[in-house]
Amino acid sequence: MRKLDRTHALRIAVALVVMLVMLTGCRSLAHDQKHKYNVVAYVAGYRNFDFSTIQADKITHINYAFVNIVNGEVHFDTSIDNTPLRKDDIVKLQSLKQINPDLKILVSVGGWTWSGGFSDAALTEASRRKFALSAAAFVDDFQLDGIDLDWEYPNQPGAGNTYRPEDVQNFTLLLQAVREELDRLAARQGNGKHYLLTIATGASRRYVENTELGKLQRHLDFLNIMTYDFYHGGDHRTGHHSNFQPSASPQLDKTNIIEAVDLHVNAGVPLRKINLGIPFYGRKWTGVKSATNHGLFQDAESVGDIIFYRQIVPRLRDDAYQQRWDDAAQAPYLWNPEQAIFISYENARSITNKVRYLKDRGLGGAMFWEYSDDHQGQLLNALDQALVGAGNTP
């Protein structure tokens, strides 16, 4: 009887070991599957949230937003929207590598607020070298893994910035200069490190026509398309701000994600260098003047103001808001008929569809703006689960 018990116990032990190996293998497979893709999180230094809460195991890169251009050089400025930026933010972000040793920390230069110095910095060989030297020094001083340039936008005014036709070629030359200085930095250090150089790009045809994407991508590790704000804070008409496909009224669309990717690919950007932008915020219109189509593509008294996903979640639980889905555009929206409020936003379903597309198309991964806009990690978890789930691998 004791012999039988020992045999039975041995079988149970073997079964448990096999099960443990299988589970470990599944977790390893899921990890490998997920981290074949970039997951780039923009983290705003002016949102005053606790960086230690970041789920570092679910992202591959953090772009700290933003640093400025002052006198033609990369510069850690003091504040955005009267909220101080702190140099020790970078130290706090670096500590996340204890959770994810493969995590890469970059700073992002510019953005909508601080793109005013790009055109001058890119103008001449001397100004480009000055900028590039400061970029490499900044990376070295803060022990970063690279730098991200978010110029909004070459040969376009953006937020009233200096711009000139020469920006089109000068942007390429600026990136070349930065790439060279980052490589020189790595060579001086002699440790075999490769410093990353990335950019954020616009999703529109106008952006593509005012850049040399096919040339400049040679100097980049990857780029992040801002595939959101299609309808935005300048529009008195409601619409999808990050629709995957054309809507049933394509003449009313600004663009869509498939078109934006195609524009980049046709301009010469390899698929594996493209990260798809996903918004962790929505756009809200008030005073919508017609209930036709549940408020979609209707004139409104307000423009499409930003509303964070964490602010949207309570409305998802409010019976006054109807949760709608545009099957053609593959995009969700909220409609409040009594208050005439329309909200375009992102949810788990739309994220899953976009990830399926990026896998099928062979893109490099995803980027999102902005980490603190999320609600208890819901959208990041949806992105993470979609990347791990069934689908083609690169």
Is 181 designated active site? no
- Report the pLDDT value the prediction gives residue 389, as an integer from 0 to 100: 82
In this prediction, residue 246 has a pLDDT band, given cuts at 50, 70 and 90, of very high
- Report the pLDDT value the prediction gives residue 13, as an integer from 0 to 100: 42
Matching residue, tokens 């935005």: 232
Q: What is the pLDDT of residues 64-82, one digit of tens each?
A: 999 999 999 999 998 998 8
- Report the pLDDT value the prediction gives residue 349, as an integer from 0 to 100: 98
CB 196 within 8 A of CB 221: yes
- Report the pLDDT value the prediction gives residue 258, as an integer from 0 to 100: 98
Q: What is the mean pLDDT of residues 196-217?
A: 98
d(CA 244, CA 247): 9
CB 345 within 8 A of CB 256: no
Beta strands 341-344 and 331-336 are antiparallel
Beta strands in 160-262, from DSSP E residues, in sequence order? 196-202, 222-226
Quick check: 271 pLDDT over 80? yes
Helix (H) or strand (E) holding 43: strand 38-44
Largest CA distance in the chain: 90
- Angstrom CA distances, 47 to 65, 69, 150, 239, stand at 10, 20, 18, 27
Quick check: 25 pLDDT over 90? no
Quick check: 273 pLDDT over 50? yes
Task: HSE, CB side, 13 Å, CA atoms: give it for residue 394.
Answer: 20
Quick check: 15 pLDDT over 70? no
- Report the pLDDT value the prediction gives residue 32, as an integer from 0 to 100: 53
Identify the DSSP state of 374.
Answer: S
Beta strands 146-150 and 196-202 are parallel
Q: Would you say the pTM of this structure is higher than 0.85?
A: yes
CB 78 within 8 A of CB 315: no
- Report the pLDDT value the prediction gives residue 33, as an integer from 0 to 100: 53
| Secondary structure class of 12 (helix, strand, coil) | helix
Which residues are CB-neighbours of 382 under 8 A, at least 6 positions away?
347, 348, 351, 352
Crossing angle of helices 309-316/378-388, nearest 10°? 90
Quick check: 391 pLDDT over 90? no
- Report the pLDDT value the prediction gives residue 48, as an integer from 0 to 100: 87
d(CA 149, CA 209): 18
The residue with greater pLDDT, 209 or 32, is 209
Q: What is the pLDDT of residues 309-367, one digit of tens each?
A: 999 999 999 999 999 999 999 999 999 999 999 999 999 999 999 999 999 999 999 99
CB 326 within 8 A of CB 238: no
Q: What is the pLDDT of residues 200-210, one digit of tens each?
A: 999 999 999 99
Quick check: 381 pLDDT over 60? yes
d(CA 62, CA 369): 11
d(CA 349, CA 371): 19
Quick check: 22 pLDDT over 50? no
Q: What is the pLDDT of residues 42-52, one digit of tens each?
A: 999 999 899 99
CB 345 within 8 A of CB 338: no
Q: 227 φ, ψ to 5°?
A: -85, 65
Which of the following is catalytic: 73, 125, 152, 180? 152
High-pLDDT (> 70) share of the chain, %: 90
Q: Quick one: 75 exposed, middle or buried, by C-beta within 10 A (0-12, 13-18, 19+)?
A: middle
Q: Specify the CATH number of the domain 31-280+348-388.
A: 3.20.20.80
Beta strands 281-285 and 341-344 are antiparallel
- Report the pLDDT value the prediction gives residue 393, as an integer from 0 to 100: 40
- Report the pLDDT value the prediction gives residue 247, as an integer from 0 to 100: 94
Q: Among 79-88, 106-115, 252-261, 287-296, where is mean pLDDT lowest?
A: 79-88
- Report the pLDDT value the prediction gives residue 2, as an integer from 0 to 100: 40
Question: What are the boundaries of each domain within the chain?
Answer: 31-280+348-388
Quick check: 231 pLDDT over 90? yes
Q: 182 φ, ψ to 5°?
A: -65, -40
Q: How far apart are the first and last CA of the chain?
A: 55
Matching residue, tokens 């300048």: 234
- Report the pLDDT value the prediction gives residue 82, as an integer from 0 to 100: 85
Q: What is the mean pLDDT of residues 205-218?
A: 98
Q: Among 7-21, 249-263, 371-385, where is mean pLDDT lowest?
A: 7-21
High-pLDDT (> 90) share of the chain, %: 87
Rg (CA), the chain: 23
